[in-house]
């Protein structure tokens, strides 16, 4: 039996997936002799859905050299997580604490930021398809010189949902897509999506264009015209229905194999 869209004898695309690093002492029940060591963590929801779409998921620790990787990978997924450190986009540094991100995986992690920005640059230089998810969309924007809204004010659309995954989101979170865009080709004119973010794109990075917004104007999708580059502000891996963005990155990767 073959996975996803793969057929016997075909070469399945390697799709790189970014993650985070934390101290093993945070894991309840783990032998405390190992608590001072580090582990790299990757969401299995991405691996599962990429495999089902016909790709081969490859987890990328910070030590995996981006330029070397891009000789092998057919696609890159930059995943969600903590806020991007404001030093990378000219934000307010006073909001940054002094907690080690290895001890709290939700505080700013400049090592992760630097790694993912370098990975985006290497992928774009090599013509490798890129999918940015939630924080990954913001990393894509920052890598290209864009800025972020540090904290979205309350409004008519709930962006930081109180619901947990897996969910298709609330009816107020409807994203409308630009005609002719990759997102519009995948979803049609609009789609309701889940949402767990309090930051968003402010000024777009060089070459990026906005191709999806909610009714309050918040950026929900960006693209790099002429390239297989897509950023979405929701979490396709945590949608109840099959989200076509993960099929898209595998299909684009197939074109390179």
The residues annotated as belonging to the active site are: 134, 235, 237
Residue 21 CA: distances (Å) to CA of 199, 229, 248: 22, 26, 27
Residue written as tokens 């109180």? 162
Q: Is 138 exposed, middle or buried (0-12, 13-18, 19+ CB in 10 A)?
A: buried
* 8 A C-beta contact, residue 173 and residue 159: yes
Residue 253 · residue 14 · CB < 8 Å: yes
Any residues with CB less than 8 A from the CB of 4 and at least 6 apart, and which? 51, 52, 53, 54, 55, 250
């Amino acid at each position: 039996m073959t996975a996803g869209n793969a057929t016997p004898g075909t070469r399945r695309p390697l799709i790189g997936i970014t993650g985070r690093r934390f101290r093993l002492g945070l894991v309840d029940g783990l032998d405390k002799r190992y608590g001072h060591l580090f582990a790299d963590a990757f969401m299995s929801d991405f691996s599962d859905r990429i495999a089902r779409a016909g790709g081969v998921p490859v987890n990328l620790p910070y030590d995996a050299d981006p330029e070397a990787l891009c000789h092998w990978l057919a696609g890159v997924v930059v995943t969600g997580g903590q806020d991007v450190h404001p030093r990378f986009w000219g934000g307010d540094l006073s909001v940054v604490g002094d907690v080690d991100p290895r001890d709290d995986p939700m505080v700013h992690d400049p090592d992760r930021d630097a790694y993912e920005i370098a990975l985006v640059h290497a992928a774009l230089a090599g013509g490798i398809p890129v999918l940015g998810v939630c924080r990954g969309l913001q990393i894509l924007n920052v890598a290209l010189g864009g800025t972020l809204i540090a904290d979205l004010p309350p409004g008519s659309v709930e962006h930081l949902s109180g619901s947990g995954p897996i969910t298709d989101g609330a009816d107020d979170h409807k994203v409308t897509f630009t005609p002719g865009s990759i997102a519009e080709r995948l979803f049609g004119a609009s789609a309701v999506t889940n949402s767990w973010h309090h930051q968003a794109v402010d000024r777009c990075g060089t070459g990026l264009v906005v191709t999806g917004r909610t009714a309050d104007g918040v950026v929900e999708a960006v693209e790099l015209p002429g390239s297989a580059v897509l950023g979405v502000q929701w979490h396709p891996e945590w949608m109840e229905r099959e989200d076509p963005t993960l099929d898209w990155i595998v299909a684009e990767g197939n074109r390179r194999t």
